[in-house]
Amino acid sequence: MTVYGLHASHEQIPPADLLDAVVRAEQAGFTAAMCSDHFSPWSVRQGESGFAWSWLGAALQATDQVPFGVVNAPGQRYHPAVVAQAIATLASMNPGRFWTALGTGEASNEHITGAGWPRKDIRSARLRECVDVIRALLRGEEVSHDGLVTVDRARLWTLPPEEPPLIGAACSTATAA
């Protein structure tokens, strides 16, 4: 079955306009939507960068059936426990309608923390750790972890009725593996 979806590009379009667009897309028959999670636009000319997680809550409420996804990079700008809590909250409020693609990130967004930008192999290893933490938290486990990310006795108290899909966001064969 062919799926027609809308990509809500926060780095190009104001959030209110994206919300209107996704509502109109559902009315026109689109059956999926996703958005980027950027802190800043790719260029000054694009000039926008709304907060994806806030927008997703609004978009899921403004539409009736369209499933939504977000591309997110846990580990530097976002702690994996915070990402897991955001995923669990949206998925519990909108069962079966939310998925997340997790990737290693881009320096253009992650540099804001002031931490150095790790080599690709380190970012990939950190992503693996983050995915393991997020999955365990979404299963309702208490998680402690010491590695490229640190987690101390985290547990999600609000869980969705079923674990939402976690998808790999990859631009290279190595990351996909």
Identify whether 38 is a catalytic site residue. Answer: yes
Lookup: tokens for 6: 């809308």
Check 10, 11, 38, 110 and give the catalytic one. Answer: 38
Phi and psi dihedrals of 29, rounded to 5?
110, 5
Answer for the pair 68, 136: CB distance below 8 angstroms, yes or no. no
Identify whether 106 is a catalytic site residue. Answer: yes
Q: Which residues pair with 145 in a beta bridge?
A: 151
Nearest one of 11, 38, 35 to 110, comparing CA atoms: 38
- CB atoms inside a 10 Å sphere around CB 70: 25
Check 79, 106, 111, 163 and give the catalytic one. Answer: 106
Give just the sign of the alpha carbon dihedral 156, 160, 162, 167.
negative
d(CA 82, CA 73): 12
Catalytic residues: 38, 106
